[in-house]
Structure 1
Amino acid sequence: RLMDVVRQTLEGEHIFPDAPPTVEIVMAKSTEFTKTELKVLRHLLRGLSYTRIAAEMGCEMSTVKFHVSNMLQKTGLENKLQLALAVSDVKLIADLAEE
């Protein structure tokens, strides 16, 4: 099997996908979330308040609320707790490294 991978790589084939798999989160696909929205989600999953998220990201609290609102609209969910639970259930961002 290892030699197959080496041969495929030498022939220019992509062994690993160019992007992470797409995950469905209620009515949205994970690819519909922006990088900034994913950062906000990581902080939400850590249990941080809007104020703390804003401080960590170096932005205004209204910006954090804007991103959460966008994600709620995309998913059809009603609040940030539902959003955090839905994202946790599909394990979308559990171990993503900060860029």
Structure 2
Amino acid sequence: MQDIKQLRKRIDEVDEQILQSLSERAEICRCIGQVKERSGLPVQDFPRENTVYAHIREKAAELGLAPSHVEAVYRQIVRMCSAIQDSERKRSETKLEN
């Protein structure tokens, strides 16, 4: 049986992977935000968000996780990514004004 220190070390490693994945997701969202801005599309895309949440709930259930809890986490992630896109758009608009 592993001791608690070893298990916590594994959690720390998984947390690092999660953070790396969040960083990668944020960068992709920045790129998507640029495409949306050039195309005149709004930051929020509710149909896409609903598709993401449905997929996440399904995958969570397959993995034995509580779908509602995982969806809550993903809602925060989507909120973070929308804020990044919004911030980038405002920064771009400020540059155009100057």
Q: Could you say whether these structures have the same fold, taking a TM-score greater than 0.5 normalized by the shorter chain as the test?
A: no
Question: Could you say which structure has the greater relative contact order, defined with CA pairs below 8 angstroms and 6 or more residues apart?
Answer: 2
Query: TM (normalized to structure 1)?
Result: 0.27
The structure that is strand-richer by fraction is: 1
The structure that is helix-richer by fraction is: 2
Query: TM (normalized to structure 2)?
Result: 0.27
